[in-house]
Structure 1
Amino acid sequence: MRKAGILMIIGSLLLLGLFKFPLWNIMLGAPQYPDPLGMDIYIEGIKGVQEFDIKNIDGLNHYIGMKTIPQPEDMWEFEVFPTVIAIMVAIGVVIGLLGFFGKVNYKWFLGWFILMSVLGILGMYDFNAWLIDYGTNLDPKAIMKLLNPDGTPMTYKPPLIGYQKMLNFDVDSWPATGAYMMFVGMMLTVVAFFVGKKEYKKLRKIKP
């Protein structure tokens, strides 16, 4: 399963892009900000798209009682996620090498994909839970206390994915370069599964 093994190795290595490129991006645009404010979310921390974006976002959030943007040491995820990705890359490369030399079944490629998918779903769930806490757990002593039409306190949870209007801000939340590299890498491992399956069947026909 040489071709399948190579595809598996390449697909796994593409996840290393998460150590260089952001996984997610959130942009906030408003009339008073001709250049939108933005956050790039990496597996190791959160950075502003522009130099002072984080400072400006924290300044705005202060008035409505939202927490400041967390530092890497404030969230366990920024310590765990890099380790998980590194382990999955290593496992994927090992499976690819073993597949290349015909030491493992092609089903291992699909097993890696399923495990990575489960971890990805758990990661998205955790990310959404953080957004909910970030946008709803407000300081009761905040300068501004805005209410919904029904009288309940207004919340400011950014969308997990897509567009949302929040007060006078247009908020966009979309996957970034690292997420696309991870997606392509995972799809390559699926291709590796089908290529490996085809190669395996061909070998069985050749053998007497």
Structure 2
Amino acid sequence: MKKASLVMIVGSALLMGLFVFPLWNIELGAPQYPEPLGINIYINGLQGQSEFDIQNIDGLNHYIGMKTLPKPEDMWEFSVFPLVIGGMVSLGVLFGVLGYFDKISYHWFFGWFILMTILGVLGMYDFNAWLLDYGTNLDPKAIMKLVNPDGTPMSYKPPLLGHQKMLNFDAYSYPRLGAYFMFLGMCLTLIAGYLGWKYKKASNLYYST
């Protein structure tokens, strides 16, 4: 169980990478921009891929009626997400330490993984809802009002994942290093649960003989 517990501690601690590296990136490329415009999304705010990308994207969005990109104080998520991740790291490390001293079973490792998976799915749902609102809730007084062939207002929602063509822009949305740290950490906690189960099974077999 000690090996499983150490893996659990390392796995949950890897989520700390989210405080250092971006979770996601949205990039906009067009012929008139030799260097694509990009936004790095952290759990506590947004940052331009290059120095003036935020200002340039807000300038473009103004013409089609999109809201300016939110500052940390404009979205509750940027205050809550760091608390959630910090709490999950602390909980995972605690479970690992308790497991190391045989105070809890491997079931708690699986429980942590399930809870983190649920939180991750809810986070992605919230992110997609923000993109939908950002790309469809347009100012009716915008300078440019573009419509689809059927007459409905055009949506400028970036893709949640992958590539999408928006007018003459190519929008790309992909995870970044922080997301890979989180994914690796969650995989390790799942492995920790498996190792704990394997240890328990071997122990039961030993005592039954």
Hey, what does 2:121 align to over in structure 1? 121
- Count of aligned pairs: 208
Hey, what does 2:27 align to over in structure 1? 27
How does the TM-score come out when normalised to structure 2?
A: 0.98
Alignment of 1:173 with 2:173, yes or no, is yes
Hey, what does 1:74 align to over in structure 2? 74
Q: Deviations over 1:131-162 (max 9, x none)?
A: 00000000000000001111111110000000
CA distance in 2, matches of 1:165, 1:98: 50
CA distance in 1, matches of 2:207, 2:100: 18
CA distance in 2, matches of 1:148, 1:133: 18
Letter paired with 2:93: V
Hey, what does 2:141 align to over in structure 1? 141
CA distance in 2, matches of 1:170, 1:100: 50
Residue 207 (structure 1) shift: 3.3
Residues 9-48 of structure 1 mapped to structure 2, 5 A cutoff: 9-48=9-48
CA distance in 2, matches of 1:146, 1:205: 69
Hey, what does 1:95 align to over in structure 2? 95
3-state DSSP of counterpart to 1:173:
strand
How does the TM-score come out when normalised to structure 1?
A: 0.98
Residue 105 (structure 1) shift: 0.9
Residue 114 (structure 1) shift: 0.3
Hey, what does 1:201 align to over in structure 2? 201
Hey, what does 2:55 align to over in structure 1? 55
3-state DSSP of counterpart to 1:46:
strand
In percent, how many aligned pairs have the same letter? 68
CA distance in 2, matches of 1:207, 1:5: 22
Structure 2 alignment gaps of length 5 or more: none
3-state DSSP of counterpart to 1:207:
helix
CA distance in 2, matches of 1:141, 1:205: 73
RMSD, aligned α-carbons: 0.8
Residue 100 (structure 1) shift: 1.1
Letter paired with 1:64: I
Letter paired with 1:114: I
3-state DSSP of counterpart to 2:47:
strand
CA distance in 2, matches of 1:147, 1:14: 45
CA distance in 2, matches of 1:121, 1:101: 32
Residue 189 (structure 1) shift: 0.5
Hey, what does 2:151 align to over in structure 1? 151
Residue 75 (structure 1) shift: 0.1
Hey, what does 2:132 align to over in structure 1? 132
CA distance in 2, matches of 1:134, 1:16: 28
